[in-house]
Amino acid sequence: MDGGKVTLGRTAGLYLGAAVLRLALFTLFPGLADLLTGRVEISTPVTSFKRLQEGLFLYDHNVSPYDGGVYHQAPLFLPLFSLLPSLPIFTYLLYIAVDILSAGALLKIADSGEAGSSALFTSPRREKRWSGFVIAAVFLFNPFTIATCIGRSTSVFTTCAILHAISRAVAGAPFSAMVALSFAAYLSMYPLLLLPPLLLLCYDRQLPERAIKPGMRSAATNILVVVGVLAALFQMSYLMTGSWEFLPSTYGVQLTLSDLTPNIGLWWYFFIEMFDSFRSFFLAVFWLHLSCYVGGLTIRLRRQPLVVLTLLLGIFSIFKPYPSISDASLFLAMVPLYRHVFPLMRYTFVIAAVIMYTTFLGPAFYHLWIYAGSGNANFFYAITLVWGLGQSLLVCDLTFAVLRDEWEVERPEMAGKDIRQI
Amino acid sequence: MRQLLSLLLLSLVALFFAPRASAADYHEQLVLRPLPLSALLASFNFRSNTTLSAFEAHNFRFFPRSLGQILQHAGTRELHLRFSLGRWDAESWGARPWDGAREGGTGVELWAWLEADTDEEADRKWRTLTNALSGLFCASLNFIDGTRTTRPVMSFQPEGNHPNSAMTNVHLLYGVLPHEVVCTENLTPFLKLLPCKGKAGIATLLDGHKLFDASWQSMAIDVRPVCPPGGECVLEMEQTIDMVLDIERSKRPRGNPIPRPPPAHELKCDTAKPYHSGDTCFPADYNANQDWSLSQIFGKTMKGTCPLTDPNVPPVCLQVPNSRGVYITEGATEKKNLDLVSRCYEIAPDTPEFEMVLPRPESSEESGQAVAVQEVVKPETPLLYAERSFTGHGQEHGGVQTILRNPSPDTKVEFIYMETLPWFMRIYLHTIEARIEGQAGSSKQDPLIQEVYYRPAVDRARGTQLEVRMRIPPASTVFLTYDFEKSILRYTEYPPDANRGFDVAAAVITILNPNPNATSPRFAAYNLRTTSLLCSLPTPDFSMPYNVIIFTSTAIALAFGGMFNIIVRRFVAADEGPEMTLTAIKERLRKRFGGLLQKYRGKGG
Amino acid sequence: MSARRPLDTGALGGASSSKNTTDAVISDNAAPCAVADEPSSARKQPPPEKASDVRRRTYVIVSFWLIVLLLGLPIWWRTTTIHRANLPLDEMLDWADGKACRPVFPLRISIRANSLQEQEAQNLLRLTQHALDDLNDFSGHHLRLQLSPPAAEETHNGDDGAALTIRLIPGESTTSTLDPYAPVLDITYPPNSIPSPTSSSSSLATYVAGQLRSTFAEEQAIISFLLSNNSIPSEHRPQGLTPEAAESLSKRTTRSLKYAPTYHLTFSLFTSGPLPSSWDIEAAIDEFMKPVLNVLTPIHNFTIDTQVQLYASPGVQSQILSKEDLSSFINAAEWPLSPSIGGAPTINFIVFVGNQTILAAPREPPKTEDGLSTSQSWLVPQWGTVYLLSLPSDTTHVSAATLRQPLLTFTSHLLSLTGTPQSGSLPLRLSTLARIRSADLLLRASSTLGSLARLALALPSISIPGSVADGVSKTMTHLRLACETLGGPEGLAHARIAEAEAERAFFEKSMVGQLYFPDEHKLAVYLPLLGPVGVPLLMGLLNEIKAWRKRRRERAERGAEKKKE
């Protein structure tokens, strides 16, 4: 906890270093930004910066960006970026700032120690943990994060909003947490599923000096806040674009997957090959599968809401309609908070190996398919499958480790023994 | 006095001809123009009129009933239909016939002004029109659906004269099928529309084999109402066929059509070349194969004239310098025009056959260039050269680059560049850029791009429509470029030959008439189309639907099962609870089936 | 083992057998218990689970199952069921079988006998009715006589909806003449032939009845023929339709076009050479054809177009056309005779200018039945007519006068193409045509309904949109109305609407487009995902239920023990 004050200079240095690194990449390799923007692993139809530019262009020329198949992002991006001066350097600075804000939020979360000891549960291993500095550094210098930033994918805004929601909740400020979450939901819909665990987290972390509100009432007020903020955002978007047609074009695309551009997820190839009469059914099934974990995890891990949030972020980064490595980087930024349960994980090596393998083979196979023409779509599809499997293995293993950690509290004699589940 | 007499005569004639409609209701003309590089442009033109009143009363005489019915049923005010094949080589052939007004892009092109109150009604009538026309012309016009239909804003203007009151609720729709292969089955119905069918007149020269063997050909049908000043409004249908024949290819004997190198002594060499000697020969194009006859290039002679045609319009014209001699069958008379480069032929009604022979011009054996000038009319340079191509590689991103060259040394040219792209080409308009060769960007005070109309594509619903009004300074070349992204489709949306690629329609360039006046009333001074493009999209593995379903489902099921078991099951130590090892399972089986086994054994024992 | 037995020597055999028996004995009693308690003795039980954990697990499983049940199932239902609007199948089949409507054509014949006293006329009426009923064998189509009041003297034609008016005029002998311009039958009778009130039979009555019967014989025959072709149950079936009569009728019905409210007439002038290239067709039509068309308007509308086609070579080149040439004379490939695209059927009338003539075969009798084929023209069933016109080779223009004969031929052919009966005066033929057509439409609409119903029954996985359903309901309401008002003009209107609606419902596009998935295919698509996901869910639920049962039992036992103490 007190690490924060002592190492203030260090964190400033860290931020500076990260900013300098990114700025150098932007400026020294001018082609790099556009190259990364074009990569399917980084920018999906709903986060691509090039599509954002197109939307801006149409918006500035009074053509409705949503009356077309290109721009599928939230309307409020348009005024934000059109207010930005046209020089690219400002865009770079904005993205760098957003990354550093996310890192700051992550650092707060880590230093709060919520991961180790929450209101209802205290891990026996909590002493063995990394400081916020390390975790922020891991996030900032994670190649995935850097690539996302250079690629200027708009998902960094979602990442930032989610991290801030969590950090505010940990800091015991439910209102601002809810506001941040509604921003995330407005930008890319799926964070709305994080609401239940976040409510619990807020409830657990209420500041002692405030009167402890009964759970139901606080939950109700928080939900009202979310609804209100979302309504306000939608109203603003409506006033800006002058019609509701941004709803189908922004969220409808995520629901119906009408744009089948390849990405690292499991949806695109499935729905390219799916028979038309079953398409709608399987769309619904995939969305249900995405959302069915929320309830179970929240109940099972009631005592550690932060873990639920982490695991859900991991699951989303696998099973989202349009996942990109930025989602993975968000999940991988949360994982180090659980340094203390790493010893309990079983497949660390396999997971690391699989993630490395896919990281290097994915682009290669994509090149073979699209450019060299010596491979077909199955090459890239296979890699996305492996990537999904590896990540799901990581999620499952983390769940196992956390649960075992909980379990050993009630049966301390079992520490280090090998166990099984019945 | 004489005037009075002639008036009387005229009235008598009129009386005599009263039952018949006036003879000017139909005329046909064939214009032959030799082009450089042993090419010959033959442009057939048939025009038949019917008075609007007769048209409304369903009385068809020269105007084909089959087409008239369609027009009436679909409420069509003006119709333009094009079947085109090949590429017009503007660099060597010069300006296009009819100033490009009678040609279309590769494939089939259709635009029409329909009378409708609402857009939906217009679309419905458009569907009716395309379906009916596809039946009439044996072309798959019925595939012109919502994704291939656009409503151009700047590029087209009605050619006929419509009353302004009628133009209020008239919709212009434009559809194009670049993939369509024009062939003989389209020519036959085309000829059937003619009053004389293929049986008499210049139409007898038209033959599928020759027509679709041409290096460039374009069949056009234009229907428009024309109101001559002081006369009754008539509905005019103009059928045009322009073809550029390769004379050498056409003269190739039917017996062995395989081209073989000519023997050395027949080679015509360009002696002007420095390296010309006994064993090296640079073939001289210009004076090659400038001798031909109608029967050679068309495979048959012309069978008389169509009796219905207007006698004042000579059926055949030839555009060669007056210095050249031409042999024709007797019964035909030659009239040299004043412009010294064209002559026309009157053919007596009872001439059974008409044949025309251009002999090899004398003294053209030695040194081509000098003579060449006299034996073919030098083609006039077009107002604009345009060529379009794809840039970039790979099946993910790409770009389109159009090179526009204004050859004229002193006048700037203003035109409208129209693209209709399929929806799966996601173009990024913010990357559109026009720059003059040699300069960095376009100057601010006089930008190249004057005005842009853009209608973005909607997935599976409509295609992209891009119209750009540009102005190019004299003697300069402009590069117009923009990027696009190739999207991947559902596997049912690919054609059977998915890896061949998807045809992208030609860009339509309409050069605006600087000052429309009585002499040149058309709003377009010149039209040209670029070639169509072939865009290859990324393709999935078409053999895999079930495999993909199984693999993806397995991945999801693994994740779900693992997660579910971990959070539902209870933790115990390895040596607690019921055993779950092989021996335990064996024991269980023994417990369940042991009894039966023993019974069986007991029987055995 | 028993197979090996014979090879063994005695001692071995004994040993082996004893071994069998022993381990048989062991396994019989000892084995089960041994298996049962052997592991439990080796392994120690886990400590009892905390109640909170148990409850938590229950909640987790319930949360998953709630999603499956509350969201999954409804979505599955919504996205994979085929929409089938429910049709009144039984009624439709009833219509098809003729159970719903029994077509009867009550024809009112009004007799105007102004020269007779009231009771005399009544008496005559009664007798004639008797005679008619004796003659009539077809219940579906019967004539009812009525006495028209003398007041209606001036308006001589049968107003007040009577199909025919009989005028009895005293004369010296019994004769009958049919008025060519009105549905009126004039019958003269000698004064002595008036039956006395007492007499039970009268020659005049039988004569009148015979006349009426002969007048309506053809209509009756046609209608009974239509009914007999349809699946009307036999008690409504008319009897006594001689096979040859049926044969000629079927010929005629096949020749005539399918009924349509609008016909499209196309007049084409074909010439083998360049001439003639124009004709006065408009004037000719107005002069020779319009009258008939105007008469037909209550039943059909007509649209007309004309065309001139030069250089049209017929399919047969020979000068003299024999009977079999006629069928191939029309050069369908070359001649632009495409039917109109308006949806109305097209009737083609072709004037072919050439020197061909039809070989009048001497041996077979000239087809005078309806004069449908002369030396110059012939009728192509359900298509139109060709008329060979030979003109001097230099005529450039065909005058209206030249077109007179062709157009008259066309007119008569038009009548037979529309299925008008041949006998009787024109007004009578037209009213008959209306009745025939309404019966025809009625039957066709109901048979269409029947086939739609059969289709819906045959393909359980075809989707039936709502438009089909209301189309069917509209059809049936109009059928009912038509059935009530059969024989009248509104009957025809209703039948027309019903037929159109039935056709529209039957040829609904979205029904045709529905593609059909066999169940194996569905299984192959669903199973890979839903199977592996469903199994753990199901196992979890089962275990949970088992544990819950166990807990309840224990609780009960504990309760029992408490009671003991």
Output C109 or C306, whichever has higher pLDDT. Answer: C306
Chain A partners within 8 Å of C47 (Cβ): 411
Q: What is the pLDDT of residue B15?
A: 37
pLDDT for B522-531, tens place per residue?
677 889 999 9
Q: Which pair of structure tokens corresponds to residue A127?
A: 């002493």
The values of phi and psi at residue A383, to 5°, are -65, -40
Query: How high is the ipTM of this complex?
Result: 0.83
More confident residue, C119 or A103: A103
Architecture of domain B385-535: Sandwich (2.60)
For B:415-474, CB contacts with C below 8 A are: none
DSSP code at position B433: E
pLDDT of residue B31: 92
The residue-averaged pLDDT of B42-53 equals 89
Residue A159's nearest CA partner among A102, A93, A80, A77 is: A102
Question: What pLDDT, on the 0 to 100 scale, is given for residue C104?
Answer: 72
Neighbours of C134 (CB within 10 A): 10
Mean pLDDT of chain C: 75
Range of the domain at C40: 1-46
Tens-digit pLDDT profile for residues C3-45: 344 333 344 344 444 444 434 433 444 334 334 444 444 567 7
Minimal-distance CA residue of chain C relative to B588: C35
Interface membership of A319 toward B (CB under 8 Å): yes
- Among C95-109, C149-163, C221-235, which is the least confidently predicted range? C149-163
DSSP for A327-372, please give it: HHHHHHHHGGGGGGGGGG-S-HHHHHHHHHHHHHHHHHHHHIIIII
pLDDT in tens, B317-347: 888 887 777 888 877 888 888 777 788 888 8
At A276-294, the pLDDT tens digits run 888 899 999 999 999 999 9
d(CA C219, CA B280): 95
Is there a contact between A350 and A392 (Cβ–Cβ < 8 Å)? no
pLDDT at B427: 92
Instruction: Say whether both C33 and C176 belong to one domain.
Output: no
Select the more confidently predicted residue: A402 or C125. Answer: A402
CB contact under 8 A, C66 and A295: yes
Q: From the CA of B578, how many Å to the nearest CA of chain A? A: 8
What backbone phi and psi angles, to 5 degrees, belong to C266? -120, 115
Dist. CA B282–CA B284, nearest whole Å: 6
**Pick from B190, B187, B302, B289: nearest CA to B239:** B190
Mean pLDDT across B221-238: 86
Q: What is the DSSP string of B234-260?
A: EEEEEEEEEEEEEHHHHHS-SS--S--
Q: What is the Cα gyration radius of chain C?
A: 42
Digit-coded pLDDT (tens) for C388-409: 888 877 778 888 888 888 888 8
Dig out the tokens for B388 from the structure: 């379009």
Is any Cβ of chain C less than 8 angstroms from the Cβ of B136?
yes
Q: How does pLDDT run across B181-220, given as a tens digit for each residue? A: 888 888 888 988 888 888 888 888 888 888 888 889 999 9
Residues of A with Cβ-Cβ distance to C80 under 8 angstroms? 277-278, 281
Better pLDDT: B480 or C124 = B480
* Confidence band for C374, pLDDT divided at 50, 70 and 90: low
Q: Provide the pLDDT for residue C33.
A: 39
- Binding partners of A (≥3 Cβ pairs within 8 A): B, C
pLDDT tens profile A163-216: 999 999 999 888 999 999 999 999 999 999 999 999 999 988 877 666 566 778
Beta carbons of A399 and B566 less than 8 Å apart:
yes
- The shortest CB-CB distance from B429 to any of A54, A266, A276 is to A54
Average pLDDT over residues B257-262: 70
Q: In this predicted structure, what is the pLDDT of residue B513?
A: 83
CA distance C469 to C455: 14
Is the confidence at residue C153, as pLDDT, over 60? no
Cα gap B324→B371, rounded to integer Å: 11
- How much is the pLDDT for C136? 66
Whether residue B569 has pLDDT greater than 90: no
**Best residue in B16, B62, B568, B583 to probe C by mutation, most C CBs within 10 Å?**
B568
| Beta carbons within 8 Å of C374's beta carbon, 6+ residues apart | C358, C409
**C199 vs B318: CA distance, rounded Å:** 101
Chain segment C240-254, per-residue pLDDT in tens: 556 667 777 777 777
Position C505 pLDDT exceeds 90: no
Tell me the sheet residues that pair with C385: C349, C379
Establish whether the linkage from the previous residue to A262 is cis, with ω within 30° of 0: no
Write down which chains contact chain C via at least 3 CB pairs under 8 A. Answer: A, B
| 8 Å CB contact between B154 and B88 | no
Rounded-to-integer distance, Cα A297 and Cα A285, Å: 19
Min Cα distance B550 → chain C (Å) is 5
Q: How confident is the model at residue C150 (pLDDT cuts 50, 70, 90)?
A: low
Total number of domains constituting chain C = 3
Q: Of C59, C79, C515, which is closest to A281 when you measure between CB atoms?
A: C79
List all residues 6 or more positions away from B26 whose beta carbon is below 8 Å from its beta carbon. B46, B47, B48, B49, B62, B195, B306, B308, B309, B310
pLDDT tens-digit readout, C274-291: 778 788 888 888 888 888
* Distance, C-alpha A328 to centroid of its chain: 7
**Residues of chain B above pLDDT 70, percent:** 87
Put simply, the answer to whether B574 touches A418 (Cβ < 8 Å) is: yes
Domain ranges of chain B: 19-375, 385-535, 547-604
Residues with Cβ within 8 Å of residue C212, at least 6 apart in sequence: C109, C128, C132, C143, C164, C166, C185
Residue A31 pLDDT greater than 60, yes or no: yes
Q: Which residues pair with C466 in a beta bridge?
A: none
Q: Residue C370's pLDDT band (boundaries 50, 70, 90)?
A: very low
Residues of A within 8 A of B490 (CB-CB) are 260, 271-272, 274, 276
Residue C241 pLDDT: 59
Helices first, then strands: H and E counts in chain C: 16, 14
> Last residue of a domain, which of C381, C408, C435?
C408
User: Is residue B312 predicted with pLDDT exceeding 50?
Assistant: yes
- How many angstroms away from the CA of C66 is the closest CA of chain A? 9
Nearest C-alpha in A relative to B562? A396
Indicate the range of A9-13, B464-468, C440-444 predicted with least confidence: C440-444
Candidates A179, A113, A110; CA nearest to A140 is: A110
- Cβ pair C525:A278 closer than 8 A: yes
Q: Nearest-CA neighbor of C323 among C384, C353, C355, C367?
A: C367
Same structural domain, C344 and C275: yes
pLDDT at C114 over 80: no
Asked if the model's pLDDT at residue B563 lies above 90, the reply is: yes
* Structure confidence by residue, pLDDT tens digits, C189-214: 777 767 666 666 677 777 777 777 77
Confidence of residue B161 (pLDDT cuts 50, 70, 90): confident
Residue C141: the pLDDT is 66
Closest residue to A53, CB basis, from B397, B430, B560:
B430
User: CA C326 to CA C367: how far, in whole Å?
Assistant: 15
Given an 8 Å threshold on Cβ–Cβ distance, is A285 in contact with C56? no
Non-local (6+) Cβ contacts of B331 within 8 A are B347, B348, B350, B351, B354
Decide if B574 and A420 are in contact by the 8 Å CB cutoff.
yes
Q: Which residues of B touch C30 (CB under 8 A)?
A: none
Judged by CB atoms closer than 8 Å, whether chains meet at A296 and C60 is answered as yes
Query: Same domain, yes or no, for C394 and C306?
Result: yes
Mean pLDDT computed over every residue of chain A: 90
In the prediction, which pLDDT does C63 show? 93
Statement: residue B99 has pLDDT above 60: yes
The answer on C14 and C146 residing in a single domain is no
Confidence of residue C368 (pLDDT cuts 50, 70, 90): very low
In Å, how far are B34, B216, B298, B505 from B244, measured between CA atoms? 9, 5, 12, 22
Q: Is pLDDT of B402 > 90?
A: yes
Q: What are the domain boundaries of chain A?
A: 2-414
DSSP result, C398-429: E-TTTTHHHHHHHHHHHHHHTT--SSS-HHHH
